[in-house]
C-alpha cells in the first residue's frame, strides 16, 4: 500500500519536465571547469542575458523600501497584501477584490490552472507559449493541448479556437509571447474572445506589457470576456524578479475561488513593500523601458547586419537564428556571455538574448562577432 502511493507519485512526477531557467552566472562558470577561485574572480565580468530581467537594477524607491522593511523580517507578512492591492486597484481603476497577488506571476498561473483544470479537462496553449502553462497543466493532472503557431512565431488564434471542445477549461495566451516575442492586437484578441464559450477561463499573460504600452490597448478595460484573467508581474520592467511578485486581475467571484487555493503567506513582506514602492516610481519604469527598447533596436539591427535576426520582438529580448545554436551558446559562454537556447521549446536553431545594458549588449555583440564563423 505504502509503495503504491509512492509509485503513483513517481509516475506522475515523470510526466513533469522541470523548468530550465536561465543559467546563474556561477553555475555556468563552474560548468566551464573553473576552480572556485576563478569562478569568484570571473563573476563580475560575466554577462547574463538569459532570463529577461531588468538589466538596470532596482528602482531607488524600491531599494529604500526593501531596506526599511528588512528590519521587520521577523514578522509574518500581511497575508492579504492589503496595501499593495489598494495601490494596484487605484492604478488600474478596479476593485481590490478583483486582485490575486502571487509569489511571482508564475504562482498565479499555476494557481489559475490548478483551480480550473483537473483530470479529464483540457488546457489550450500555443506550442511555443510560455513553458510554465504546460508544466502547470501536467501538474494539475489535466491534458495540455499545444497548438502550432502561424509562422513559427505568432499565436494562431483560429487554430486555438478549433482546438476548443467540451473538455476545454482554460486557454493560456502570453502577449507579448515569451519566447517568440510576438504580439497580438487588441482587436484580434477580442474577436477570439467573442467566439469562445463564456465559461472558459482565458489567462492573458502580460508579463511584458510595459514594453507594448503604445502598441495595444489596456486589456484590463478593453477586453470583454467573463472568464478573462489578466496576469502581470513585477519581475520584468519593474525590476523585482528576485523578490517574486505577480498578480492577476479578473472578475471578483473568480478571484475568490482561486484565493482559497493560495498558501496564506505567499508573498513576503519585503516583496510587498518593494512592489508598492516600485508602483509609485513610474518615471523610473518609463525611463528604463525606453532605454531597453532603444537597446533592443540596436541589437536587432546588429543581428540583421550579421544575417542572424530570427524575427522582431516586442518584449525585452531579441531572437537570434543560427543553425548550430547549442554550440554557439557554448562558445558565447566561454566568452563570458550567457544566453538562452530555445531547443526546449522545439526551436533548435533559435537563441533568445535578453536585452541588457549598453555595456552588456556591447559585450554580447563583441563575443558574437568573435565566435561566428
Ligand atoms: C510570459 C511569462 N509569463 C510569466 C513569467 C513568470 O514571471 P514571474 O514569475 O517572475 O512573475 C515569465 C517569466 O519569464 C514570462 O516570460
Q: Which residues pair with 205 in a beta bridge?
A: 174, 231
Give the residue from 245, 265, 280 where a domain finishes: 280
Retrieve residue 65's grid coordinates.
Answer: 523600501
pLDDT band of 2, cuts 50, 70, 90? low
Cα(95) to ligand 1 centroid in Å equals: 24
Mean pLDDT of 144-156: 93
pLDDT tens digits, 272-283: 999 999 999 999
pLDDT tens digits, 165-213: 999 999 999 999 999 999 999 999 999 999 999 999 999 999 999 999 9
Cα angle for residues 254, 189, 229 (degrees, 5° grid): 15
Is the same domain home to 45 and 84? no
Domain limits for position 27: 8-57+283-371
Q: Which of 111, 235, 237, 241 to mutate to test the pocket of ligand 1 (most atoms within 8 A of CB)?
A: 235
Is the same domain home to 174 and 304? no
pLDDT tens digits, 110-136: 999 999 999 999 999 999 999 999 999
Cα(205) to ligand 1 centroid in Å equals: 8
Mean pLDDT of 292-305: 98
Residue 174's nearest CA partner among 215, 208, 139 is 208
pLDDT band of 68, cuts 50, 70, 90? very high
Is the same domain home to 223 and 356? no
**C-alpha span between 159 and 155 (Å, rounded):** 9
In-domain check, residue 212: yes
Give the residue from 248, 263, 280 where a domain finishes: 280
pLDDT band of 41, cuts 50, 70, 90? confident
Cα(106) to ligand 1 centroid in Å equals: 6
Is the same domain home to 151 and 271? yes
Q: How high is the mean pLDDT of the chain?
A: 95
Nearest atom in ligand 1 to the alpha carbon of residue 129 is 1
Is the same domain home to 210 and 327? no
- pLDDT given at position 34: 87
In-domain check, residue 231: yes
In-domain check, residue 263: yes
Give the residue from 246, 280, 314 where a domain finishes: 280
User: pTM of the predicted model, to two decimals?
Assistant: 0.94
Is the same domain home to 139 and 82? yes
Cα(105) to ligand 1 centroid in Å equals: 6
Cα(250) to ligand 1 centroid in Å equals: 18
For the chain, the three-class secondary structure string (H helix, E strand, C coil) is CHHHHHHHHHHHHHCCCCCCCCCCHHHHHHHCCCCHHHHHHHHCCCEECCCCCCCCCCCHHHHHHHHHHHCCCCCCCCCCCHHHHHHHHHHHCCCHHHEEEECHHHHHHHHHHHHHCCCCCEEEEECCCCCHHHHHHHHCCCEEEEECCCCCCCCCHHHHHHCCCCCEEEEEEECCCCCCCCCCCHHHHHHHHHHCCCCCEEEEECCCHHHHCCCCCCHHHHCCCCCEEEEEECCCCCCCHHHCCEEEECCHHHHHHHHCCCCCCCCCHHHHHHHHHHHCCHHHHHHHHHHHHHHHHHHHHHHHHCCCEEECCCCCEEEEECCCHHHHHHHHHHCCEECEECHHHCCCCEEEEECCCHHHHHHHHHHHHHHCC
Share of the chain above pLDDT 70, in %: 99
Q: Give the binding-site residues of ligand 1, using a 6 Å CB cut-off.
A: 52, 104-106, 130, 174, 178, 205, 207, 233, 235, 241, 246
pLDDT band of 3, cuts 50, 70, 90? low
Nearest atom in ligand 1 to the alpha carbon of residue 109 is 4
Judge whether residue 1 has pLDDT over 60: no
Domains held by the chain: number:
2
Cβ-Cβ contacts under 8 Å for 279 (sequence gap 6 or more): 84, 87, 88, 91, 238
Cα(138) to ligand 1 centroid in Å equals: 18
Amino acid at each position: 500500500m505504502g509503495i503504491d502511493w509512492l509509485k503513483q507519485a513517481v509516475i506522475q512526477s515523470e510526466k513533469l519536465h522541470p523548468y530550465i531557467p536561465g543559467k546563474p552566472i556561477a553555475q555556468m562558470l563552474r560548468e566551464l571547469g573553473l576552480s572556485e577561485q576563478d569562478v569568484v574572480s570571473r563573476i563580475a565580468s560575466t554577462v547574463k542575458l538569459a532570463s529577461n530581467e531588468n538589466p538596470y537594477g532596482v528602482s531607488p524607491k524600491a531599494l529604500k523600501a526593501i531596506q526599511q522593511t528588512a528590519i521587520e523580517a521577523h514578522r509574518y507578512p500581511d497575508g492579504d497584501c492589503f496595501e499593495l492591492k489598494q495601490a494596484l486597484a487605484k492604478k488600474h481603476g478596479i476593485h481590490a477584490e478583483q486582485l490575486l497577488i502571487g509569489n511571482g506571476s508564475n504562482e498565479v498561473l499555476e494557481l489559475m490552472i490548478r483551480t480550473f483544470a483537473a483530470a479529464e479537462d483540457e488546457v489550450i496553449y500555443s506550442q511555443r507559449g510560455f513553458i510554465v502553462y504546460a508544466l502547470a497543466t501536467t501538474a494539475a493532472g489535466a491534458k495540455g493541448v499545444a497548438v502550432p503557431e502561424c509562422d513559427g512565431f505568432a499565436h494562431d488564434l483560429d487554430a486555438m479556437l478549433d482546438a476548443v471542445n467540451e473538455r476545454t477549461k482554460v486557454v493560456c495566451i502570453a502577449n507579448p509571447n515569451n519566447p517568440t516575442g510576438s504580439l497580438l492586437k487588441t482587436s484580434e484578441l477580442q474577436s477570439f474572445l467573442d467566439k469562445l464559450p463564456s465559461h472558459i477561463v482565458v489567462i492573458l499573460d502580460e508579463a511584458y506589457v510595459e514594453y507594448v504600452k503604445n502598441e495595444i490597448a489596456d486589456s484590463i478595460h478593453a477586453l470583454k470576456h467573463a472568464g478573462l484573467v489578466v496576469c502581470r508581474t513585477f519581475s520584468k520592467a519593474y525590476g523585482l524578479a528576485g523578490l517574486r511578485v505577480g498578480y492577476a486581475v479578473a472578475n471578483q467571484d473568480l478571484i475568490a475561488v482561486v484565493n482559497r487555493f493560495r498558501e496564506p503567506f505567499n508573498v513576503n513582506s519585503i516583496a510587498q513593500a518593494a512592489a508598492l514602492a516600485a508602483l509609485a516610481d513610474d518615471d523610473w519604469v518609463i525611463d528604463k523601458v525606453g532605454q531597453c527598447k532603444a537597446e533592443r533596436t540596436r541589437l536587432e539591427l546588429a543581428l540583421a547586419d550579421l544575417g542572424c535576426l530570427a524575427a522582431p520582438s516586442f518584449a525585452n529580448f531579441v531572437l537570434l537564428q543560427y543553425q548550430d545554436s547549442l554550440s554557439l551558446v557554448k562558445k558565447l559562454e566561454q566568452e563570458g556571455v550567457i544566453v538562452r537556447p530555445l531547443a526546449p521549446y522545439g526551436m533548435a536553431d533559435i537563441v533568445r538574448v535578453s536585452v541588457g545594458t549598453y555595456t552588456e549588449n556591447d559585450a554580447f555583440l563583441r563575443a558574437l562577432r568573435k565566435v561566428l564563423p
